Structure 1
Amino acid sequence: MTSVPELGQRARDVFRMVVEGYLESGDPVGSRTIARFGGLNLSPASIRNVMQDLEEMGLLAAPHASAGRMPTETGLRLFVDGMMQTTTLSDEERAAIESQTRAAGPLEDALAATSQVLSGLSACAGIVLVPRAEPVLKQFAFLPLGPGRAVAVLVGADGSVENRVMDLPLDVPAHALGEAANYMTAMLGGLTLAEAQVRLEDEIAMGRSALDRTAQNLVTRGLAVWSEDGSRRPVMIVRGAANLIDPAAAADLERVRQLMDEIEGKEEIARLLDSARGARAMKIFIGSENKLFALSGSSVIAAPYHGTDGRVVGVVGVIGPTRLNYARVVPMVDFTARTLTRLMA
């Protein structure tokens, strides 16, 4: 891939003006426009020659033979990584973001409000990957569905109730289901699932579980189905998806449909955001760099936020068209991530 130092000063100036003009207007930028407003003291013919060179490098593209040029995804990546000068958030923008994290109420409500205000300020879809809250066990039950199947019911200390269907050996007697459920409620209540698994292993190892092998197996299976499900289940808040249907996108109904399908597939987006957990700073995915948005041509800007111990606990960001104001949105997402980190403190 071409790097910024490989471009001469003239090529850099023309490239920057094409990209900035396209990001502002959404239209290809012509040589006459640059000659008239660019202050380069170059003729339209000279500018066209430079644009042709940039096109051959794969940095610009001409959507029509007679049109101007627009950046390719490769060109956008070069601009974002090596040439972009980010803007500074206004006091009003900072106050709007901070006010949502100071509101009283549950953490998830604050995160949802933060996602909403980020969406409004960026004109994109705001997204927040919420810290996984492992449920605390209060009561457990097994309800038989028939041979080889049962419903595992978990009642959390917060009053939440969730069900999971699980497979069982065909010869499990009904009394074993009740015995296992009573044991879990009595001995494992008040613990998280991870803590309950450790407690159960210790009880069995020390011979203190007071369960026969069948009931032990049921307890182990019940905890496993919940723990496995909780570890892979994304908790994500999306606000402002309608912002993604701009007039330009509406002209391409298939692209809009594809994008809405991607937004609805929260689990896939959450996996994408989860990849930003390992980053210490901003992650920017442009168009087909990420397979999830290859068809709709969308970009994702995401940044991790941290808990009291410095560990990454979630991710905040936006989804927008590849033609978005990166210079403005990048510091906006970064400030939001830092604000959420202070919320977790």
Structure 2
Amino acid sequence: MTDDYILLMSAAPISEMTDRARDVFRMVVEGYLDSGLPVGSRTISKLPGISLSPASIRNVMQDLEELGLLSHPHTSAGRVPTEGGLRLFVDGMMQAAAPTAEERAAIEARLERGGPIEEAISAATAVLSGLSACAGIVLVPKREPVLRQFGFVPLSPDQALAVMVGSDGSVENRVVDLPPGISPAALGEAGNYVSARLSGLTLPDALARLATEIRDGEAALDQVSQELVARGLAVWSRDGAQRPVLIVRGQANLLDRDAAADLERVRQLLDELEGKEEIARLLDSATAGKGMKIFIGSENKLFALSGSSVIAAPYRGGDGKVVGVVGVIGPTRLNYARVVPMVDFTAQALSRLMA
């Protein structure tokens, strides 16, 4: 990506607008995105390069309102862009600059820390959230953990903590119910069996291997220990289908200085962020394309009530195939010119990490 680029024009009304209308429309949108407030004709008349009177500007604004590109809040003499106006601006008029060297360094630094890849992805999403002042979101690839070590820690006569260490160094714990009559020594033997015989396998493969060895009489475990191992592995196997694939970071950024004037919208957006399954489906739709996807307000029914925007870009694995999506969610009054390239850069950085 070059230092500066212009998103391609894709909306016919731009070519049908006069130079005067395009200038006024652009200034209204940029003023609104900067302040969050309606932009009046007098404000525009004072901007450099404008030689129109407030009355002339009002006439142009009225024409733009009739085209459905601006709206006129009843409490103000100024105008704000409609969702259709924002779409026209983002697709056809916005000039965007690449992230600064400092922003690129902040994102890349989080990806270079090592550790489980999910942690690196989550950390990069948190940085993206902070830089964009939005909530950062990432759809991570569905990955079955690979066993390296497994053990049981007794908690009570009836329960134990199953501890799984993955091949990537991740450690996960689950509480399992113990079969009646199992001894502490048997807990140790069961854990050693899994670590020795099933290491290097995914959970489904480990369960299949266990079933095969029990069937063929090759499992060096008594029946109670066999049941315990099966229970321990099954905890993660059941959990795998429900394993969260969507990470959301920085929801607090949505409570910015302008939120007090629109608390209901923010509350609605925070509620929507709780519905991770629906947002995951929305992001999954972005994997079908090759590039950036921008959803503005009610263009997607999921955010019709909160009037929010989503900017998302796919990232790829070593084989070049799309494995996930990264992006941000925030109010429609986003600094699109700054955030769009930032999301694009983060997606490229994640692709390099996954290669």
Please give the TM-score of this superposition, normalised by the length of structure 1: 0.77
Return the offset for 1:117.
1.2
Is the 8 Å Cα contact of residues 174 and 235 (structure 2) preserved in structure 1? no
SS at match of 1:23: helix
Whether contact under 8 Å (1:14, 1:50) holds in the other structure is yes
Determine which of 102, 106, 109 is the counterpart of 1:99: 109
1:60 aligns with 2:60: no
- Pairs within 5 Å for 1:1-345: 3-9=12-18, 10-64=20-74, 66-136=76-146, 156=164, 158=166, 160-161=172-173, 190-192=200-202, 195=205, 230-231=240-241, 233-345=243-355
Which letter maps to 1:160?
A: E
AA in 2 matched with 1:68 = G
More deviation in 332-341 or 35-44?
35-44
Identity fraction in percent = 68
Q: Is the 8 A contact 1:97 1:117 kept in 2?
A: yes
Alpha-carbon spacing, 1:94–1:336, altered in 2? closer, same or farther (3 Å): same
SS in structure 1 at match of 2:95: coil
Structure 2 SS opposite 1:13:
helix
Q: Measure the CA separation in 2 of the matches of 1:119 and 1:241.
A: 8
**For residue 21 of structure 1, what is the amino acid of its counterpart?**
G
- How far apart, in 2, do the equivalents of 1:299 and 1:42 lie? 33
**Offset, 1:110:** 1.5
| Superposed displacement of residue 134, structure 1 | 0.9
Which secondary structure does the structure 2 equivalent of 1:303 belong to? strand
Q: Which runs of 5+ in 1 are unaligned?
A: 141-152, 166-173, 175-181, 211-221
Q: How many residue pairs get matched?
A: 320
> How much has 1:50 moved relative to structure 2?
1.3
Deviation readout 1:62-103 (Å, 9 max, x if unpaired): 112652110001110111111111113211111111111111
Shift of 1:25: 0.9
Partner of 1:143: none
Whether the aligned pair in 1 keeps the contact of 2:11 and 2:92 (CA below 8 Å) is: no
Per the TM alignment, residue 277 of structure 1 is displaced from its structure 2 partner at its CA by 1.7
Mark the CA change 1:190 to 1:89 in structure 2 (over 3 Å): closer, same or farther: closer
Amino acid corresponding to residue 108 of structure 2 in structure 1: E
User: Where does structure 2 lack aligned partners over 5 or more consecutive residues?
Assistant: 1-9, 152-160, 181-189, 219-231
Alpha-carbon distance between aligned partners in 2 of 1:104 and 1:130, rounded to the nearest angstrom: 17
- C-alpha spacing 1:38/1:195, structure 2 compared with 1 (3 Å): farther
1:35–1:42 CA contact under 8 A, matched in 2: yes
Residues 41-65 of structure 1 deviation map (CA, whole Å, 9 limit, x = unaligned): 2222221111111111111001126
Structure 1 distance, partners of 2:199, 2:116, is 23
Equivalents in 1 of 2:62, 2:75: separation in Å?
12
C-alpha separation between the residues in 1 aligned to 2:14 and 2:202? 54
Answer whether contact 2:198 2:209 (CA < 8 A) is retained.
yes
Shift of 1:162: 5.1
- What is the distance in 1 between the residues matched to 2:122 and 2:143? 16
Q: Which residue of 2 aligns with 1:170?
A: none
Change (3 A) 1:43 1:262: same
Cα RMSD between the aligned structures? 3.9
Which stretch shows the higher mean deviation, 88-97 or 20-29? 88-97
Q: Deviations over 1:157-204 (max 9, x none)?
A: 525355899xxxxxxxx9xxxxxxx9xx79977533565799899x8x
Q: Deviations over 1:127-171 (max 9, x none)?
A: 22222221346889xxxxxxxxxxxx9975525355899xxxxxx
Cα distance in structure 2, aligned partners of 1:328 and 1:314: 22
Displacement, 1:309?
0.7
- For residue 269 of structure 1, report the CA deviation from its aligned partner: 2.0
How much does 1:273 deviate?
A: 1.6
The farther-off stretch of 129-138 and 258-267 is 129-138
The corresponding residue for 1:219 is: none
CA drift of 1:223 comes to: 10
CA-CA distance at 1:259 after TM superposition: 1.6
> Structure 1 residues 44 and 193, CA, compared in 2 at 3 Å: closer, same or farther?
same
Counterpart Cα distance in 2 of 1:103 and 1:66: 50
> Partner of 2:77: helix, strand, or coil?
coil
Conserved 8 A contact 1:233-1:267? no
Q: Contact 1:30 / 1:68 at 8 angstroms: preserved in 2?
A: yes
- Specify the SS of the correspondent of 1:251: helix
